[in-house]
């Protein structure tokens, strides 16, 4: 059910569509076919999130984290409340984010020695590749708390309230982290690639 890791796909409105209510109910009752549909629907989203947060650990490690995240989703799906405040996608992203954060905490010394490589979205066209690479490296250089908030907002379209719930912080903290992240990325791009912004004020 769980595919091999590959570079993070772009999320689209269609790929973010939620599982229908009937399939969700069947999944919560443990029906195999519904559980497989759930994994098929949300695997790209989980993989994209994990890749952007942990790609420096390598493709095989990303695959392990994606699988761990989806296993935890399947184990907990019966407890998801479709009438609650969180969308299913946000609930799943919360689980995946915490899996990655827990993994990072366990291996913090090793992560600290890793170079920020491989965070390149291959979906960018040739003309955008240099800028895409520059943004990717700037994102990887952010402090972890800012990077996670930025990824959830800019790549997964969560609103401030949803990010606050995922990270268990208040909305003001989310806004502060995003503001600092955007400023840091802009400054890094201006330093590293001033030619890309010539004439832009």
pLDDT, tens digit (0-9, with 9 covering 90-100), for 176-200: 999 999 999 888 888 876 665 554 4
Q: Is the pLDDT of residue 153 over 50?
A: yes
Mean pLDDT across the stretch 133-159? 84
Q: What share of the chain is helix, strand, coil (3-state, %, to 5)?
A: 70, 0, 30
| CATH entry, 117-201, from 1.10.287.130, 1.20.120.1200, 1.10.150.570, 1.10.10.10 | 1.10.10.10
Q: Is the pLDDT of residue 11 over 90?
A: no
Q: What is the pTM of this model?
A: 0.67
The architecture CATH gives domain 11-114: Orthogonal Bundle (1.10)
The larger pLDDT score, comparing residue 22 to residue 116, is at 22
The contacts of residue 158 (CB under 8 Å, 6+ apart) are: 90, 93, 152, 166
Closest CA to 63 of 6, 128, 137, 144: 6
- Of the pLDDT bands very low, low, confident and very high (cuts 50, 70, 90), residue 43 is very high
Residue spans of the domains in the chain: they are 11-114, 117-201
């Amino acid at each position: 059910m769980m595919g091999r890791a590959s570079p993070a796909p772009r999320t689209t409105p269609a790929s973010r569509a939620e599982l229908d209510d009937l399939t969700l109910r069947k999944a919560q009752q443990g029906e195999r076919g519904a559980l497989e549909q759930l994994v098929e629907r949300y695997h790209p989203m989980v993989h994209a999130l994990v890749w952007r947060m942990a790609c420096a650990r390598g493709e095989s490690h990303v695959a392990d984290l994606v699988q761990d995240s989806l296993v935890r989703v399947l184990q907990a799906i019966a407890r998801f409340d479709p009438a609650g405040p969180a969308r299913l996608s946000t609930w799943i992203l919360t689980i995946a984010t915490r899996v990655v954060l827990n993994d990072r905490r366990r291996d913090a010394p090793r992560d600290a020695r890793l170079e920020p490589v491989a965070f390149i979205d291959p979906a960018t066209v040739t003309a955008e590749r240099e800028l895409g690479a520059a943004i990717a490296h700037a994102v990887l250089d952010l402090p972890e708390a800012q990077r996670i908030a930025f990824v959830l907002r800019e790549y997964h379209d969560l609103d401030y309230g949803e990010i606050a719930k995922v990270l268990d912080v208040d909305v003001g903290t989310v806004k502060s982290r995003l503001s600092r992240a955007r400023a840091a990325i802009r400054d890094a791009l201006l330093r590293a690639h001033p030619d890309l912004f010539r004439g832009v004020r």
